[in-house]
Structure 1
C-alpha cells in the first residue's frame, strides 16, 4: 500500500529572521512517503510520522508566529516484495512506480508554553500517477492518501544561545502528538495496494537536534533524530490488525551558509505480529526496514523559502516493498 512517513523547528532566542525561517523550513520539509505491501493487497503497514520521514532539523520549529506552507513531490520505484526472511518473496511479486504530490500547512502559535514554541500542522497527499502490479495484476491508480496532522508540537531550545552566526548551537528538543486520518482512497477488495489505510492512527513522537560549533567546513555539524511510536488499530473493513511500530529517523549533516548537506536514514520495526480475525497470520508478517541516502537543502531568502531533496535507498527490507525513493520539498514562510 502507499503510505507516507516530518516537521521541524528552531527556538533559539537570538536567531535572525533569515536563520529562523531556514530552521523552521528545514523541519517542515522532511516529508516522504513509504510504499508498503502485504500478501493481502488491501492491507499494509503505516509507520513513522508525516509522509516522508524526518531528517535534518528534526526538533526545530520556527519561533516566529504565523503560517508556513509546504509543497512536495515524491517518486519511487519498487522492484519486489521482501518477506519474513528479508529476501525477495517468490510467492508475492510486486513492482510499482508511483508519483505523488502533496500540500501542507503549519501554524506557529503567538504564545509559548514553558519557554517552548507551540505549533500544529496538516499534510495531504495525492497520487498523480501510479502503476502498481501485484502478482501479475497491474492497475493504474490515483487518488488521495491519508491526511496526517501534528495536532500539537512543542519545541524548546536548551543550548547556550547563538554563539556565532545566530544559529541554535547546542541542544533543541521537541515533543508532539500526531495522528493520521483515513481520508485516503481505499477498497477492501482492491487487487493492488491502496493509497489509504482505513485506519485512525495515534503517533506520539519526540525529537532531539544538536548543533556543534563552527568548523573548517562551515557553521557546524548537526545531529538530529526523531522517535515515533505508531499505534495501529484493527481495520474494521477486513478485521486485519498490523502490529504497533517504532520508527527512528536520523540525519548527520554539515551546515554551511545557505547550504546543508549530509546523510539521512531511518530504522523501522514492528513490535507485534499481524492478526486476521484475532488469529496471528502465518509467519507474523512483522515489518522491518532500514534506509539510507543523501540529503541536501538550500535556503532562498528572496522567496522566504527552503528547497530540499532526499534520496532513500533500501539497506534492509522485511515484509514490505523493496524500493528506492526521491523526495523534493519546498517550504515557504507567509
Structure 2
C-alpha cells in the first residue's frame, strides 16, 4: 500500500473510533463524561441503589485545530444501568462498597456521504473498591473503576464499533461541599490508563496492529443551589489527553499529517442542570451540556436524564 493511501486509511480509522459518548479517536471513551453531577462525592448511606443514565448525543468531528471536518457527524442514544451496594463494613474509617455499570448504545455515524447504524452493549464498568466518608458539610469518595472490553468491536470498521476493545483502569476521587444554606459544589476527578488494542486495523480485512490510546485526565463538576426538594445549577466536564496515541509502540507521527501529532483529545462542556428529590429519596436529574474547545474528537451537545432509586 502506498504511503499516501495508507495515511488516508489510517486517518479515517483513527478519527472514527466510537463509544458510549461517540467520541472521535481510536480507543473510544469508556466513561460517559458528565454522568456525575449532584452529590457526586456524597455516597448514600449503606444499602443498595439502582441508577439509570439515559440520553442523546449529537456532534460533528473536529480536527487537531478545533475545526469541523466536513461530512463527519454522529448521533447516539444511550442508556446506562448501574447497580451500587454500600456496606456497613468500614476501611480507614470509610464505608466500603462496589458497583457495576452496563451501557446500551444506539449510534449512527456519517462520513464521506455514507452512514452506519449500530446498536450494542457497550463496555461494562466494575468497581470492587469504593470507600466513602462524611464530615459535616463535606463528603468524599475514593474508588477504582475497571472497564472491560465487552462492547461490540469491528476491526477495520470503526464506524461500526461501540466497544473500545481494550481494558482500562481508572483511579477516582470525588468530593462534595453542601452547606446548610443549600449551596453545593461537587467534582469527580479521574485518570484513565488504557491497555493495548491488539486487533486494530486501518482497513477492513487488513493486517492486525497494536494500537494504544493515550491516557486521559477528566473531571465532572457542578455548582448549584438546593431549594427544598428542587436544585438548579451548572454542570459539565473537562477532558485532556495526557499521553500520545501509539501505533505498534511508536507515537503517532506528525509526519503523517496535521490530523495526527499524537492524537491528543480535549473537550470542555457545561450547561444547566435541574434536580428533584422525593421524600423517599428518589432523585431525578435533567441536564444539557454543550461541548467547546474541542480537539481531535466529536464536539456537540449532550442531553441527560438521570434516575437514582434506593432499593
Aligning the two structures, in what range does the TM-score lie when normalised by the shorter sequence?
Answer: 0.7 to 0.9
Structure 1 residues 225-255: Cα deviation after superposition (integer angstroms, max 9, x where no partner): 1110100121111211111100022110101
Alignment of 1:1-334 (within 5 A): 1-4=17-20, 34-38=21-25, 43-46=26-29, 49=31, 52-63=34-45, 65-78=46-59, 80-90=60-70, 93-127=71-105, 129-159=106-136, 170-192=137-159, 194-214=161-181, 220-238=182-200, 239-281=210-252, 282=254, 283-301=261-279, 304-334=281-311
**Residues 198 and 246 of structure 1, relative CA distance in 2, 3 Å threshold:** same
| 8 A contact 1:36–1:46 mirrored in 2 | yes
**Residues 3 and 151 of structure 1, relative CA distance in 2, 3 Å threshold:** farther
Q: 1:44 Cα deviation (Å)?
A: 3.2
| Mapped partners of 1:72, 1:171: distance in 2 | 25
RMSD between superposed Cα atoms in Å: 1.7
Q: 1:277 Cα deviation (Å)?
A: 1.2
| 8 A contact 1:36–1:44 mirrored in 2 | no
Gaps of 5+ in 2: 1-16, 201-209, 255-260
Decide which structure has greater strand share: 2
Structure 1 residues 137-188: Cα deviation after superposition (integer angstroms, max 9, x where no partner): 21121111100123211111122xxxxxxxxxx2212111111110111111
Correspondence for 1:166: none
Paired residue secondary structure (1:231): strand
| Mapped partners of 1:132, 1:114: distance in 2 | 47
| Mapped partners of 2:195, 2:222: distance in 1 | 30
| Mapped partners of 1:221, 1:178: distance in 2 | 29
| 8 A contact 1:289–1:318 mirrored in 2 | yes
Q: How many residues align?
A: 279
- TM-score for the superposition, normalised by structure 1: 0.79
Higher mean C-alpha deviation, range 253-262 or range 131-140: 131-140
Higher mean C-alpha deviation, range 112-121 or range 233-242: 112-121
| 8 A contact 1:50–1:149 mirrored in 2 | no
| Mapped partners of 1:178, 1:106: distance in 2 | 13
Correspondence for 1:28: none
**Residues 191 and 266 of structure 1, relative CA distance in 2, 3 Å threshold:** closer
| 8 A contact 1:230–1:246 mirrored in 2 | yes
| 8 A contact 1:45–1:287 mirrored in 2 | no
| Mapped partners of 2:129, 2:80: distance in 1 | 20
Q: 1:51 Cα deviation (Å)?
A: 6.2
Paired residue secondary structure (2:24): coil
Q: 1:313 Cα deviation (Å)?
A: 0.4
Gaps of 5+ in 1: 5-33, 160-169, 215-219
Q: 1:57 Cα deviation (Å)?
A: 1.0
| Mapped partners of 1:50, 1:81: distance in 2 | 18
- TM-score for the superposition, normalised by structure 2: 0.84
Q: 1:296 Cα deviation (Å)?
A: 1.2
